[in-house]
Structure 1
């Protein structure tokens, strides 16, 4: 089993991206693993299974979030796709994401579940 966590910050409004939709999908077999919404502090934390060297995409629905917050459709970036490889079991994958209508930045950290963040 692995753990994935993410902290998502909206730099347009200077706040946590609360309730933003996040989806995890296996790219090896195109299987949806989960769909969830971030907590009020812009965080998700979910467990997932993987094979060695399995490719995943964590997708953050940034434009939908911005439309709901501002009633404006002004982003040219429809979502934030984060592709990553699960190299081994019992790992914690953490992503910190900061976004605006025209850009995003991702920082990733991987650790063993026993030494988790």
Structure 2
């Protein structure tokens, strides 16, 4: 069974990005909205079954970055990734600052 989590870290402050809105678009086209917790993490996707296919996580970072740093070059960051059949756990972290971002497949 596949599962998905995410973690957003603010590289300018060196702290988790709490309260950032996200939207997961599933392989079947459904959308699930969520918000990062106090540790910048998100793993609450309701009853979604993560079958094989292409997914997109949209991180709505503008509001967060404006509030914390007064500037945001990015209104949002989209990360598309592919889940394999019986791929296990997928962790999609986002490192964000007002003028840069990075992501990778975590564990």
Which consecutive residues of structure 1, in runs of 5 or more, have no partner in the other structure? 110-116
**Contact 1:59–1:81 (CA<8 Å) still a contact in 2?**
yes
How much has 1:99 moved relative to structure 2? 0.8
Structure 1: distance between partners of 2:19 and 2:73: 21
Counterparts of residues 58-73 of structure 1 (less than 5 Å): 58-70=57-69, 72=70
Q: How much is the aligned-residue C-alpha RMSD, in angstroms?
A: 2.0
Which blocks of at least 5 consecutive residues in structure 2 are unaligned? none
TM normalised by structure 1 equals: 0.76
After superposition, where does 1:31-70 map in structure 2 within 5 Å?
Answer: 31-32=30-31, 34-47=32-45, 48-52=48-52, 54-70=53-69
Question: 1:89 Cα deviation (Å)?
Answer: 4.1
Equivalent of residue 79 in structure 2, options 82, 87, 109 = 82
Q: How many residues align?
A: 105
Q: Which has the larger radius of gyration?
A: 1
Which structure's residues are more often strand, by fraction?
1
TM-score (norm 2): 0.83
Distance, in Å, in 2 between the alignment partners of 1:51 and 1:18 is: 28
1:63 to 1:30, Cα distance in 2 relative to 1, 3 A: same
